[in-house]
């Protein structure tokens, strides 16, 4: 029996990047907003001091910033012929918990998707003919041009360091010539590069590519954002992804938004408030708020006029499924939408080993310190005859020299023992990595639903993930890897080592926290969960933020697009929904 | 009981308030209190998980995985102490892992499907002893170095049949934990005197490399430092 609390204008579930964005935007509009976070309060000065943060055991390998699976996890299988088993430990992806969410421990690689990415089906079919029958790729129902101002808004809040390649249609020297039209330059200049990305850029240039500095949420100089919040210059400590920044140098909710938001009297944050489900009104036509449980086991009903699900994508999808909102997707019939088009990222790598007189000093790094080429992303190249669509970027990011996580050894090194130890010693400081970062298309058989066997600590069924890479991804990733090998060879090191992505997809090795889909957006309720304003087609006062909206994943890191979509949604609520609450797009 | 918003707004510029329920509600400011840092937990040198027989096996095995050369072996670097701490604590108990039944082996792509790490270690070490007793009438420690290496390699390939646990899962877990003890910060009990960091040239928990961004490939030669604040004394590896 839950206790009913006083009604609020807005309740937000999950207080990470998009929860903070929505709260800031809607409190600025004068709304009374309460955010519910399953984790605890965390802030830079008290929890992430520069003297404590650089600890591989504590943070990367004992998961201090990541979600706690003993409370809720998911089950996984590669295809419907297997029995799904629980993800007992984290591996392939690392969702966060606590205030700030996964945004606390991201690298800060902050991209815009290509204009053609938003028309993935239309664009590719026009150019290359019909897509394979089992490929359920869709247009987004929103265009790059519609999102452009909101990309800018998010980049300005974050203080992204970069170099524009396309300013109002004019191609700029030194930027990404393939990017969509930008209305303004990045708010900060690019980061100063260390040796490894310079070597990559030199080799890529020699091959005729156009390397440019990767857009970075690590500050290249002191920065004051439009909310008046200050960030300090990045110190290249090499502890970004999987770590919190102790130095106010990485854009996160805590370093860009919370100092302003937390002071507003019309905002309230409740931590350790675990939302169990979204409640519907008696007629089933509106969300009536949410139900949450405290660590003491008290269950509350928080009613609100607007409900925003801003949890990590796996939890947003799970909440939709356990709350019985919308029709769950059925891969046999292709009917239903909730859980449809789960996708991910396909990555691979090439290591380059140098002689001992070249000191790479990998620990002088930052999460988004890198040089990139975009020649083989999206539809930036002619795919005729290649047998796949989409692509990805190729880059050398010098993110870290953390010795447990990053000790490259050449081909033929023994697994362990004296030879392994010698190889680690000989190569740690004399090697670098080139990464490929590829798109994953959506397929009829890749989806999320509820598991029939396993339950979470609250008695709810775990979500079940069914996923494998498709032929398109394997061909595309191999193509990207071949291009990376060419660049690696052009670096003229001693030797290289190639790590291609293999099938089946494994949930064990870390790949990326770039899970997408399941609550996809589109232009009609038959094949999407939300409209372009991330508004539920079923319950018009319910909005969902995050990468669950992506109908398939592009060849870029998702956070830039997640942030832009959140600002776009906030603007629609402020300027349209509040005047006339109801569907913002007519079905 | 539940707090109304009005009650919370009174008088506070804000605040983690004292009662547990109140402490979880934040309005009107950025919570902050003095001396609320979250430093690392320093390892306990007296922590014990292994029995003496188990410790003999673990010591012998980690020293084949990371043997002594000019630099310390795993056990010399404190890896066994690290493992004692890890396995007798939250990691060993699997506090943060999903440990609900039913258990089933599944496909390698589905990941770890054993019980909590402490149970896995204890069972695997017993199974390994039984296996070697049955096959060779010896303990692991009684094997030659070559035989020990071959046995570990077979474990790593899943080519050893253990009675209760998956051999490859145990090896992968044990090898990762061994490396973690060797490369991790000494505050956790391994990597004594930052030996692995001096071996590879990692400076440890420094945080400002701005003067070295333009190193351009030259050697930097930092003395490492730990999150516990200790600077390496150099000296014998």
Q: Which two tokens stand for residue A159?
A: 């203080």
Instruction: Establish if B156 touches chain A: CB-CB under 8 angstroms.
Output: yes
Closest residue to B28, CB basis, from A57, A263, A507: A263
Closest residue to B215, CB basis, from A46, A194, A404: A194
Helix (H) or strand (E) holding A183: none
Query: Is the interface score ipTM higher than 0.85?
Result: yes
Contacts of B214 in chain A (CB under 8 A): 192, 194
Chain A residue closest in CA terms to B35: A46
Chain B residue closest in CA terms to A57: B184
Q: Which two tokens stand for residue A376?
A: 């083989």
SS3 A127: helix
Chain B residue closest in CA terms to A462: B98
Are A235 and B210 inside 8 Å of each other by CB? yes
Closest to A187 (Cα-Cα) out of A227, A217, A155: A155
Mean pLDDT of chain A: 97
Closest residue to B24, CB basis, from A192, A264, A271: A271
Q: Which of A503, A520, A548 is the last residue of a domain?
A: A503
Q: Which two tokens stand for residue A416?
A: 């362990």
Torsion of CA B58, B61, B67, B72, to 10 degrees: 0
Given a contact cutoff of 8 angstroms between Cβ atoms, the answer to whether A119 and A532 are in contact is no
Q: Which CATH number fits the domain that encloses residue A332? A: 3.50.50.60
Helix (H) or strand (E) holding A545: none
A297: left (phi over 0), alpha (psi -120 to 50) or beta: left
pLDDT at A204 over 80: yes
Per-residue pLDDT, B34: 82
How many whole angstroms separate alpha carbon A420 and alpha carbon A422? 5
Per-residue pLDDT, B23: 66
* Stretch B66-74: mean pLDDT: 98
For the entire predicted model, the pTM comes to 0.96
Phi, psi of A548 (to 5 degrees): -60, -20
Q: With a CB-CB cutoff of 8 Å, which residues 126-155 of chain B face chain A?
A: 149, 152-153
Are B227 and A6 inside 8 Å of each other by CB? no
Q: Which two tokens stand for residue A530?
A: 């939300």
Q: Which of A123, A209, A430, A514 is catalytic?
A: A514
Better-predicted residue by pLDDT, A487 or B236: A487
Per-residue pLDDT, B11: 35
Contacts of B110 in chain A (CB under 8 A): 76-77, 82, 84-85, 507
- Measured N-to-C along each axis, helices B117-136 and B167-183 cross at an angle, to the nearest 10 degrees, of 120
Q: Which CATH number fits the domain that encloses residue A497? A: 3.30.410
Given a contact cutoff of 8 angstroms between Cβ atoms, the answer to whether A440 and A346 are in contact is yes
Contacts of B20 in chain A (CB under 8 A): 296
Least confident of A261-270, A305-314, B14-23: B14-23
Contacts of B223 in chain A (CB under 8 A): none
Chain B residue closest in CA terms to A233: B210
Total domains present in chain A: 2
Shared-domain flag, residues A364 and A451? no
Shared-domain flag, residues A205 and A268? no
Instruction: Give whole-number Cα distances, B153 to A147, A323, A413, B160, in Å.
Output: 54, 49, 13, 9
Per-residue pLDDT, A155: 98
Shared-domain flag, residues A83 and A23? yes
Shared-domain flag, residues A308 and A377? no
Closest residue to B205, CB basis, from A43, A51, A89: A51
Q: What's the pLDDT tens digit per position in A468-515? A: 999 999 999 999 999 999 999 999 999 999 999 999 999 999 999 999
Contacts of B69 in chain A (CB under 8 A): 418, 421-422
Q: Which two tokens stand for residue B19?
A: 């009662």
Contacts of B96 in chain A (CB under 8 A): 62-63, 68-70
Per-residue pLDDT, B234: 47
Contacts of B218 in chain A (CB under 8 A): 359
Number of alpha carbons in the 13 Å side-chain half-sphere of residue A380: 21
Instruction: Establish if A46 touches chain B: CB-CB under 8 angstroms.
Output: yes
Are A428 and B210 inside 8 Å of each other by CB? no
How many whole angstroms separate alpha carbon A239 and alpha carbon A366? 7
Percent pLDDT > 70 in chain B is 87
DSSP letter string, A8-58: EEEEEE--SHHHHHHHHHHHHTT--EEEE-SS----HHHHS-TTTS--III
In a domain, A176, yes or no: no
In a domain, A40, yes or no: yes
* Stretch B13-38: mean pLDDT: 69
Shared-domain flag, residues A234 and A378? no
Closest residue to B113, CB basis, from A82, A88, A402: A88
> Counting one residue from A and one from B, how many pairs have CB atoms under 8 Å apart?
254
Shared-domain flag, residues A393 and A454? no
Q: Which two tokens stand for residue B7?
A: 């009650």
pLDDT at B33 over 90: no
Instruction: Establish if A117 touches chain B: CB-CB under 8 angstroms.
Output: no
DSSP letter string, A60-81: IIS-TTB--TTT--EEEESSTT
pLDDT at A564 over 50: yes
| Mutate which: A23, A75, A100, A363, vs B, most B CBs within 10 A | A363
Per-residue pLDDT, B14: 39
- The nearest CA of chain B is from the CA of A17 a distance in Å of 17
Per-residue pLDDT, B228: 85
Tokens 């519907």 — which residue? A280
pLDDT at A318 over 80: yes
Shared-domain flag, residues A205 and A325? no
B18 pLDDT tier (thresholds 50, 70, 90): very low
| Mutate which: A57, A70, A248, A296, vs B, most B CBs within 10 A | A57
Per-residue pLDDT, A517: 98
Shared-domain flag, residues A334 and A479? no
How many whole angstroms separate alpha carbon A146 and alpha carbon A137? 20
Are A507 and B110 inside 8 Å of each other by CB? yes
Contacts of A269 in chain B (CB under 8 A): 25-27
Provide the strand spans (E) within A181-323. 212-213, 223-224, 230-231, 267-270, 274-280, 287-293, 299-302, 304-309
DSSP letter string, chain B: ----HHHHHTT-S----SSHHHHTEEESS----TT---PPPPP-TT---S-HHHHHHHHHHHHHHS--SSS--TTTTTHHHHHHHHHTSHHHHTTTS--PSPP----GGG---SS-HHHHHHHHHHHHHHHHHHHHSS-GGGS-HHHHHHHHHHHHTT-S--SSS-HHHHHHHHHHHHHHHHHS-GGGS-SGGGHHHHHHT--BS----GGGTT-TT----PPPB-TT-PBP--S--
Handedness of CA A546, A455, A75, A511 (dihedral sign): positive
* Stretch B79-91: mean pLDDT: 98
Better-predicted residue by pLDDT, B2 or A524: A524
pLDDT at B7 over 70: no
* The Cα angle at residue A400 between residues A397 and A405, in degrees rounded to 5: 115
| Mutate which: B11, B96, B99, vs A, most A CBs within 10 A | B96
Q: With a CB-CB cutoff of 8 Å, which residues 496-515 of chain A face chain B?
A: 504-508
Shared-domain flag, residues A308 and A237? yes
pLDDT at B17 over 50: no
Phi, psi of B133 (to 5 degrees): -65, -45
Contacts of A5 in chain B (CB under 8 A): 2
In a domain, A539, yes or no: yes
How many whole angstroms separate alpha carbon A511 and alpha carbon A438? 11
Tokens 């889909």 — which residue? A517
- The nearest CA of chain B is from the CA of A578 a distance in Å of 23
pLDDT at A206 over 60: yes
Q: What's the pLDDT tens digit per position in A103-127? A: 999 999 999 999 999 999 999 999 9
Q: What's the pLDDT tens digit per position in A55-110? A: 999 999 999 999 999 999 999 999 999 999 999 999 999 999 999 999 999 999 99
Per-residue pLDDT, A211: 98
Chain A residue closest in CA terms to B65: A417
* Stretch A194-213: mean pLDDT: 98
Beta bridge partners of A171: A166
Closest residue to B39, CB basis, from A52, A364, A453: A52
In a domain, A166, yes or no: no
Given a contact cutoff of 8 angstroms between Cβ atoms, the answer to whether A46 and A68 are in contact is no
Chain A residue closest in CA terms to B26: A269
Per-residue pLDDT, A49: 86
SS3 B225: strand
How many whole angstroms separate alpha carbon A294 and alpha carbon A66? 19
Asked about A514 being catalytic, the answer comes back as: yes
Are B202 and A237 inside 8 Å of each other by CB? no
In a domain, A171, yes or no: no
Shared-domain flag, residues A155 and A54? yes
Instruction: Establish if A406 touches chain B: CB-CB under 8 angstroms.
Output: no
A587 pLDDT tier (thresholds 50, 70, 90): confident
In a domain, A175, yes or no: no
Q: With a CB-CB cutoff of 8 Å, which residues 4-43 of chain B face chain A?
A: 4-5, 8-9, 14, 16, 20-21, 24-33, 36-40
Q: With a CB-CB cutoff of 8 Å, which residues 459-498 of chain A face chain B?
A: none
Given a contact cutoff of 8 angstroms between Cβ atoms, the answer to whether A240 and A59 are in contact is no
Per-residue pLDDT, B20: 47
In a domain, A181, yes or no: no
In a domain, A392, yes or no: yes
Per-residue pLDDT, B37: 81
Q: Which of A479, A503, A527 is the last residue of a domain?
A: A503
A582: left (phi over 0), alpha (psi -120 to 50) or beta: left
What residue numbers bound the domain in which A201 lies? Answer: 190-214+346-438+469-503
Closest residue to A69, CB basis, from B96, B199, B212: B96
Shared-domain flag, residues A486 and A373? yes
């Amino acid at each position: 029996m839950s206790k009913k609390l006083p009604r609020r204008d807005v309740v937000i579930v999950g207080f990470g990047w998009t929860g903070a964005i929505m709260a800031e935007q809607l409190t600025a509009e004068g709304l009374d907003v309460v955010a519910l976070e399953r984790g605890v309060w965390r802030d830079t000065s008290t929890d992430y001091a520069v003297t404590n943060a650089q600890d591989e055991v504590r943070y990367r390998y004992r998961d201090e910033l990541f979600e706690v699976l003993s409370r809720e996890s998911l089950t996984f299988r590669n295809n419907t012929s297997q029995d799904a088993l629980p993800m007992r430990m984290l591996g392939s992806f690392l969702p966060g918990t606590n205030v700030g969410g996964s945004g606390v421990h991201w690298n800060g690689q902050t991209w815009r998707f290509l204009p053609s990415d938003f028309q993935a089906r239309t664009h590719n079919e026009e150019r290359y003919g019909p897509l394979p029958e089992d490929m359920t790729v869709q247009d987004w129902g929103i265009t790059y041009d519609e999102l452009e101002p909101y990309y800018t808004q998010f980049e300005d809040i974050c203080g992204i360091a970069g170099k524009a390649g396309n300013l109002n249609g004019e191609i700029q020297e030194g930027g990404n010539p393939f990017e969509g039209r930008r209305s303004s330059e990045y708010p900060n200049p690019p980061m100063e590069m260390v040796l490894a990305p310079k070597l990559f850029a030199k080799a890529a240039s020699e091959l005729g590519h156009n390397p440019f500095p990767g857009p970075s949420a690590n500050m290249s100089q002191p920065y004051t954002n439009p909310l008046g919040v200050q960030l300090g210059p990045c110190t290249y400590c090499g502890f970004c992804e999987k770590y919190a920044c102790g130095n106010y140098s990485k854009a996160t909710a805590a370093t860009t938004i919370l100092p302003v938001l937390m002071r507003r009297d019309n905002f309230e944050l409740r931590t350790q408030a675990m939302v169990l489900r979204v409640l519907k009104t008696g007629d089933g036509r509106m969300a009536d708020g949410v139900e949450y449980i405290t660590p003491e086991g008290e269950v509350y009903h928080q009613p609100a006029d607007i409900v925003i699900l801003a949890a990590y994508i796996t939890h947003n999808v799970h909440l939709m499924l356990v709350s019985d909102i919308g029709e769950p997707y059925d891969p046999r019939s292709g009917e239903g939408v909730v859980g449809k088009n789960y996708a991910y990222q396909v990555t691979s790598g090439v290591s380059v080993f140098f002689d001992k007189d070249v000191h790479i000093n990998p620990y002088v790094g930052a999460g988004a310190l890198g040089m990139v080429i975009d020649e083989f992303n999206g539809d930036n190249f002619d795919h005729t005859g290649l047998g796949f669509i989409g692509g990805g970027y190729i880059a050398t990011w010098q993110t870290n020299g953390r010795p447990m996580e990053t000790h490259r050894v050449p081909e033929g090194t023994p697994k362990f023992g004296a030879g392994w130890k010698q190889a680690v010693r000989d190569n740690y400081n004399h090697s670098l990595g080139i990464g490929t970062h590829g798109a994953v298309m959506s397929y009829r058989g890749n989806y999320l639903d509820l598991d029939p066997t396993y339950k979470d600590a609250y008695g709810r069924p775990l979500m079940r993930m069914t996923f494998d890479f498709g032929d398109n991804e394997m061909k595309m990733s191999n193509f990207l890897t071949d291009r990376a090998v060419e660049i690696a060879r052009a670096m003229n090191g001693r030797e290289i080592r190639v790590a291609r992505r293999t099938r089946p997809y494994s949930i064990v090795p870390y790949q990326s926290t770039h899970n997408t889909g399941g609550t996809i957006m589109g232009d009609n309720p038959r094949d999407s969960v939300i409209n372009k304003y991330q508004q539920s087609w079923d319950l018009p006062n319910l909005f969902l933020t995050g990468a669950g909206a992506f109908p398939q994943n592009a060849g870029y890191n998702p956070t830039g697009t997640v942030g832009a979509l959140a600002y776009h949604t906030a603007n629609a609520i402020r300027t349209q929904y509040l005047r006339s609450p109801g569907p913002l797009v007519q079905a | 009981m539940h707090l109304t918003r009005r009650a919370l707004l009174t008088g506070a510029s804000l605040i983690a308030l004292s009662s547990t329920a109140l402490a979880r509600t934040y309005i009107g400011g950025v919570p902050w209190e003095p001396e609320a840092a979250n430093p690392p937990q320093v390892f306990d040198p007296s922590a014990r998980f292994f029995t003496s027989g188990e410790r003999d096996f673990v010591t012998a095995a980690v020293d084949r995985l990371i043997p002594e050369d000019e630099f310390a072996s795993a056990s010399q670097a404190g890896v066994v102490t690290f493992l004692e701490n890890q396995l007798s604590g939250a990691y060993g108990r699997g506090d943060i892992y999903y440990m609900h039944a039913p258990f089933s082996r599944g496909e390698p792509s589905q990941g770890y499907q054993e019980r909590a790490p402490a149970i896995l270690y204890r069972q695997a070490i017993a199974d390994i002893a039984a296996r070697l007793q049955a096959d060779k009438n010896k303990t692991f420690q009684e094997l030659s170095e070559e035989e020990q290496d071959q046995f570990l390699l077979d474990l790593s390939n899943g080519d050893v049949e253990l009675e209760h646990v998956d051999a490859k899962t145990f090896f992968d877990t044990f090898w990762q934990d061994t490396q973690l003890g060797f490369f991790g910060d000494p505050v956790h009990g391994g990597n004594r005197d930052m030996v692995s960091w001096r071996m590879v040239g990692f400076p440890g928990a420094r945080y400002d490399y701005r003067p070295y961004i333009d190193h351009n490939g030259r050697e930097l030669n930092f003395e490492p430092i730990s999150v516990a604040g200790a600077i390496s004394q150099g000296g014998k590896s």
